[in-house]
Chains A and B, each alone.
Chain A
């Protein structure tokens, strides 16, 4: 089960030479056009839903046959206000007064992308090793719990404190990845089921911890922890005006590290071999059990770092909703990024933008933020099925169409 819906068509030499027809064919057959068209198709469907749910459109549709243009105008208004709000909320707020206001949306996008990139990288390693890890949510929670606890309960010198807290986050996530890994390796327990169950166990553990004295903020009845010490917080990169913190750079570094691990190291080669064909890997003398455990532990550690980005960077305190839905969104991020580090970073930023646009969408366009979830899931569905996208847009089937194993 390789989760990489990869088509190697862009490597294939064009057989029609360099005339424009060949070029056109190359473009329409390449896999990135599928990605672009998948986004377009999702935006179109999202637009239709927005029109359908818009009261002004419904009002105008009542006298559609008397003045049809009113309906179209209302529909255009609904869709354009929604999508411009998304743009203003995530990239560039052109209606802001100061530069800080205008620029902040993009930094918010990067802030939101940070945990998605971390967790998506971990999941991507798993997918390439043939392991479908749905447990990023639980791993983020455990990472945030441990890292947050070190952050507010321990008091260490500047520098060391952050380091220890980040390592603690990583260990927390790694533990939650190790458990399904060893169960899979030793007993054959399916990692999908075990990781889903561990997500709930982690959520309940967090809820319990936040009701104990060790974790609860003194003088507060709410399930939230004390604020982590400033020594344990990720430093802000762009100053006080923005929330963007060092975690983002760490995520980029992690992406590079994962690239090196998977593409340049012996371990990465073994992981990929285990994913491509466990029997062959075993025959070649590789330790498949060890590979599974190592992949799950590393994936968990990366998801734990996502937890650290939340608790030591963005939120600065542990709450019941510290992991949001980052763990589940990260699955779609890794799928969209085709489990490759660069793809995961770009997909993480795209989904971070979706997430950052939520508040503006709600305020300016009066739409529930959940339209973003719809867009995300549609994009992933379309990308996972390139033949469907080609069919929708009447694109030619690639000449060297390979079996797509998403």
Chain B
């Protein structure tokens, strides 16, 4: 054992200590606003209309669909966005704190202008507002679980790159158990709920392996995470190609039923988006609230954060550093495993090879964008979910933006975020450093 004192290991170059208000945000907003003005404001043909459909045919309360003159509206929206960029610049110049409403309003204006532009002159199709929002929530669900999983691990100082593998194994286990139980009981609903219960176990198993190698054997956490992802792909593909192929009953499309909350679900837009989902989506909201309280208001949370920021200090006051890390890593794995159930039982799909398709890495990005907080992770995941939902919607109505570029948006946003263009992000200080007494 080494007895040398370790200097606090931080990799960040000592940057931006006191450089005054930054011009980055006004410049970014200005550039994006200008591009939007040229592409969507001036690019929208005159004399056309864009139809927004709010209600779906099955809704109790019908709101008439809404047609707006496309060009005037797009110009109005993009010019307001440019004005907001100007407001932001004025705020920086006069050193006023304007709060986050400027970028939020800016984002909404840009998104609305894109929608108006995309739907302009389309007579056969229209923008399905409610569908877009439902898609956002649904597509964000696995990201929220994944981001929470990463957060629970990283707050205690263990980097969890294995979220992808944990989601995948959760999806696999959910499908397998759902199929087996549904076959045994004859009820697919019972099977689906059993699958939901089993999914966290698979994720927790991978979490335990991460803890074993990272905490017990001090292997680099990122290395373990990357390798565990490969292992999860290998294992699920292997059993998919052997056990599931020989017993097709073990991999059937079994869906969780939607739980409709009476009255609340009849509210237009809000109802179908928030109160007519399956149990997993409600569980997601519950977990976000629970972790937001637990992490910042409870003794458990204080200890976890202490372990993640300064393990030596935590150890000095009697907190078991490595035990905390092991528990959190396994817990995080279980959360990601539960999120993996989204891909199979919560979507009513059978398991398929590598069906998580990199969502675990986007969840990691959502965690970083959300600055390691549950609320932030929820917001960032919703943003990514919206981008994904928008891509699906554009696929239906057909636009001139190639879908590949829309698919790139979450990744580019993440790069901008970690490069500090949208504010500086700081991970827990003791992340990826094994604690050696």
Contacts and interface: CB of A to CB of B under 8 A. Distances in A.
Interface of A: 1, 3, 5, 49, 53-55, 132, 134, 183, 185, 187-190, 192-194, 196-198, 200-201, 204-205, 207-208, 211, 278-279, 288-289, 328, 331-332, 335, 367-368, 370-374, 376-378, 380-381, 384-385, 387-388, 403-406
12 contacts: A3-B220, A54-B242, A189-B419, A192-B161, A331-B226, A368-B238, A376-B234, A377-B227, A377-B230, A380-B227, A384-B220, A403-B2
Contacts of A132: 220, 222-223
Contacts of B407: 200, 204
Contacts of A194: 415, 418-419
Contacts of B405: 204, 208
B402 A211 contact: yes
A163 B257 CA distance: 60
A3 B11 CA distance: 16
Given A200-B361, A204-B411, A404-B219, 13 more contacts: A134-B226, A183-B418, A183-B419, A189-B419, A193-B414, A211-B404, A331-B226, A368-B242, A370-B233, A373-B233, A374-B238, A403-B2, A406-B220
Nearest to B231: A377
Contact of A371 (B12, B224, B238, B361): B238
Given A208-B402, A385-B213, A188 B219 contact: no
Contacts of B240: 368
Contacts of A373: 230-231, 233-234, 237-238
A387 B217 contact: yes
B404 A208 contact: yes
B370 to A, nearest CB: 13
Contacts, number: 158
Nearest to A292: B13
B11 A188 contact: yes
Interface in B335-392: 358, 361, 364-365, 368
B93 interface: no
A23 B296 CA distance: 57
Contacts of B227: 332, 335, 377, 380-381, 384
Contacts of B230: 328, 332, 373, 376-377
Contact of A368 (B220, B226, B237): B237
A381 B213 contact: yes
B423 to A, nearest CB: 12
B239 interface: yes
A188 B14 CA distance: 9
B218 A374 contact: no
A332 B223 CA distance: 9
B220 A370 contact: no
B342 to A, nearest CB: 20
A27 B376 CA distance: 53
B211 interface: no
A300 to B, nearest CB: 16
B219 A53 contact: no
B231 A198 contact: no
A187 B420 contact: yes
A49 B240 CA distance: 13
B414 A367 contact: no
Contacts of A368: 237-238, 240-242
A384 B11 contact: no
Contacts of A207: 404
Given A188-B12, A197-B412, A53 B218 contact: no
